[in-house]
């Protein structure tokens, strides 16, 4: 079997929120199933051949670094648009998520243009939206993690999920992230994939299908991952909201 090739974009610039954890999760979950995988780190000055990859990861960085990345990415706007239209799986987190839209407007009113792949705009708010978050996704069930962003994002696509607890895209409309073609964008890090194995496998399934190897993923022993997911949800979300549900919520202490 030919390896699944994953591009990790600009690890030198966009790695503010432990994207290493997301890469490691994808890599291990393929390896544990005997599926060969290659992760290529694409740096700012490297040529980017989107057609090489079955999955692309775009992480978050500070404002300064994000502006640098936006500048580089926009040079290949046409390639990006056609790759996404043809179904390239793309996982974009925090700053990377914001870059998919038309622009990011800073607190000083400066509009930093994005890739324009989505009908989406982000404006910096006066406060940061920080904290533990849980959302419900129709495709991947409950997703938990941490969010930390000044940007308020509005878009006209489907969200990744609806907010159970936390702020989400803009702290207003109860929506978190974006789902469009095989693009997943989200503010959730923490990091995202290790504690959300269903989402991790959903992303891998997209990549396998795109690579022309639509094999069903064999199940893994996710006891530890699910334990971490559940413990986080019970102690950090349910207790944090002061909820006491019949399903044992809050009973952990």
- List binding-site positions for substrate: 128
Is residue 166 a contact point for another protein (CB under 8 A)? Answer: no
**How many Cα atoms are found within 13 Å in the side-chain-facing hemisphere of 149?**
33
Candidates 143, 191, 149, 185; CA nearest to 170 is 149
Residues 6+ apart with CB under 8 A from 166: 131, 132, 133, 134, 135, 147, 176
Asked whether the beta carbons of 54 and 6 are under 8 A apart, the reply is: yes
- Catalytic, 54? Answer no
Give me the residue label for tokens 């334990």: 227
69: which 2 tokens? 């990345």
The one among 1, 85, 107, 231 contacting another protein by CB under 8 A: 231
Catalytic-role residue among 8, 54, 94, 167 = 94
The one among 50, 209, 217, 228 contacting another protein by CB under 8 A: 228
Catalytic-role residue among 155, 167, 189, 229 = 189
Mark the segment that binds another protein (CB under 8 A) among 5-13, 96-104, 151-159, 168-176.
5-13
**In the bound complex, what is the minimum distance in angstroms from residue 58's beta carbon to another protein?**
15
Q: Are strands 103-105 and 120-137 parallel, antiparallel or unpaired?
A: parallel
Which residues sit at the interface with another protein, rule CB under 8 A? 11-13, 15-18, 20-21, 24-25, 28, 41, 44-45, 62-65, 68, 128, 130-132, 146, 148, 150, 189-191, 194-195, 221, 224-225, 227-228, 231-232, 235-236, 239-240, 252-253
Residues with catalytic roles: 94, 189
């Amino acid at each position: 079997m030919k390896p699944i090739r994953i591009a990790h974009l600009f690890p030198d610039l966009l790695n503010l929120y432990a994207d290493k954890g997301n890469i490691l999760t994808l890599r291990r979950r393929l390896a544990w199933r005997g599926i060969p995988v290659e992760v290529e780190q694409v740096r700012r000055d490297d040529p980017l051949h989107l057609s090489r990859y079955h999955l692309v990861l775009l992480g978050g960085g500070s404002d300064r670094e994000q502006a640098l990345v936006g500048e580089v990415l926009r040079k290949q706007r046409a390639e990006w648009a056609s790759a996404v239209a043809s179904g390239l799986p793309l996982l974009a987190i925090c700053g990377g998520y914001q870059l998919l839209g038309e622009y990011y407007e800073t607190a000083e009113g400066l509009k930093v243009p994005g890739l324009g792949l989505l009908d989406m705009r982000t404006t910096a708010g006066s406060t940061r939206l920080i904290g533990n978050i849980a959302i419900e996704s129709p495709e991947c069930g409950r997703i938990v993690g941490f969010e930390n962003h000044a940007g308020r994002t509005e878009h006209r696509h489907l969200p990744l999920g609806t907010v159970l607890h936390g702020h989400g895209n803009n702290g207003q409309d109860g929506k978190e992230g974006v789902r469009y073609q095989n693009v997943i964008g989200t503010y959730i890090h923490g990091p995202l994939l290790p504690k959300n194995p269903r989402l991790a496998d959903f992303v891998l399934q997209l990549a396998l299908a795109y690579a022309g190897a639509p094999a069903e993923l064999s199940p893994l022993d996710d006891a530890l991952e699910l334990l971490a997911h559940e413990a986080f949800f019970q102690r950090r979300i349910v207790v944090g909201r002061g909820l006491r549900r019949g399903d044992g919520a809050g009973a952990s202490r």
